[in-house]
Structure 1
Amino acid sequence: MSFFANHMLVALPALQDAHFARAVALICQHDEDGAMGVVINRPSEYTFGELLDQMHITLRDERLRDHRVLAGGPVHPERGFVLHDGPGGWDSSLEIGEGLHVTTSRDVLEAMAAGEGPEHATLALGCAGWGKGQLERELTEHSWLTVPADPQLIFDTPLDARWQAAAGRIGVDMMHVASHSGRA
């Protein structure tokens, strides 16, 4: 069995689910029991500063105040998932791939607010989850492309350009992909 942690899923145009149409999801964990990922190209209604205010965390690094928090997926929308580079070392971190982590503990947010967090980081509320065999089934139904994770795309590419840019990493131009699939 092939597992897709440290890969991005790029929704094909035929995928019409409201949560995932034109989505790019970074797969953080994938094993025989299912998969968990974070959508990396959907803005939430919150900025980093607004979220920290709600959590009563003082923001000392004003450069982060207006950074948009992502809508990471429909599962646990009240929970924060920080995607970041550098070493882990936070209370609750999972290494996704070499130098790429997801952290769900408050300590990383406090460090970021103080200007002492990871060099590159993005915060998402919620995640995406797939039960046992669900992701594999969706891949055979031609719902997703799989692309190796790319920190530059995750941290530096504008949100509205990530869907096309992710597909472009493997030479696919989404403007030329049909919005339906079939079998001959």
Structure 2
Amino acid sequence: MKNDYLSADYARGHSSLKGQFIMAMPGLTDPNFSHTVSCICEHTPEGAVGIVVNQVHSSLSAKDIFDELNIACTSAAENIPIFLGGPVHIGEIFVLHGPPFNWQGCLMITDSLAMSNTSDILHAIALGRGPESLIIVLGCAGWGPYQLESEIRDNAWLTSPVAEDIIFRVAVEARWEEAVRKMGIEPALLSDISGHA
């Protein structure tokens, strides 16, 4: 059965899912992605890169990251949670953020959302001068050529345009349900059998 919940852009044949959420269907059993919402940051014929936005590290905070990098930080910055962005490049730090977008190595995802992973943004965050809306992430998710498209056709994922409010304002534990509801789907109605609704 073809996934009927592909976003309109993707269904019209646009090959890039950049700027889209992918929400794991209940039948996706990979523990790295069970009930996750991921923001697709880049998608080309060579593959896709995404950031999981609803898994918080159970024991790390920004203070641990700043201490490890010898970056002095304010007390407010110490308590920023650290997210688990996916099982790839787990030692790398990424920041998913709103404006401003003048950081070195800033990759625009949409007109109002970007991903950065350079030291200038980390220093700014540590001093309370970073973007107002942000999450700090360890690792990312990656897919090979056409792997993500294949998984979507196999009903592993729902897709919808990224909604910054879900990333930055909805409680972490409610992000999957809210992202699914934003599509007009009641999460409880999704079957976990082969990912078919």
> What TM-score comes out, normalization by structure 2 length?
0.89
Alignment-derived partner of residue 56 in structure 1: 70
Alignment-derived partner of residue 88 in structure 1: 101
- Structure 2 matches for 1:69-148, cutoff 5 A? 69-148=82-161
Q: 2:136 and 2:182 mapped to 1: Cα distance?
A: 23
Q: Is the Cα–Cα contact under 8 Å of residues 52 and 59 in structure 1 kept in the other structure?
A: yes
Q: What is the CA-CA distance between 1:53 and the residue it aligns to?
A: 1.1
Q: 1:117 and 1:181 mapped to 2: Cα distance?
A: 42
> What TM-score comes out, normalization by structure 1 length?
0.95
Regions of 4+ moved over 4 Å = none
1:10 paired to 2:13: no
Cα root mean square deviation, aligned: 1.3
Q: What is the CA-CA distance between 1:182 and the residue it aligns to?
A: 7.7
Alignment-derived partner of residue 172 in structure 1: 185
Q: What is the CA-CA distance between 1:173 and the residue it aligns to?
A: 1.7
Alignment-derived partner of residue 40 in structure 1: 53
Q: 2:126 and 2:195 mapped to 1: Cα distance?
A: 49
SS of equivalent to 1:69: strand
Bigger mean CA offset, 42-51 vs 132-141: 42-51
Identity of aligned residues (%): 35
Q: Is the Cα–Cα contact under 8 Å of residues 87 and 99 in structure 1 kept in the other structure?
A: no
Gaps in structure 2 of 5+ consecutive residues: 1-13
Q: Is the Cα–Cα contact under 8 Å of residues 25 and 38 in structure 1 kept in the other structure?
A: yes
Gaps in structure 1 of 5+ consecutive residues: none
Q: What is the CA-CA distance between 1:175 and the residue it aligns to?
A: 1.5
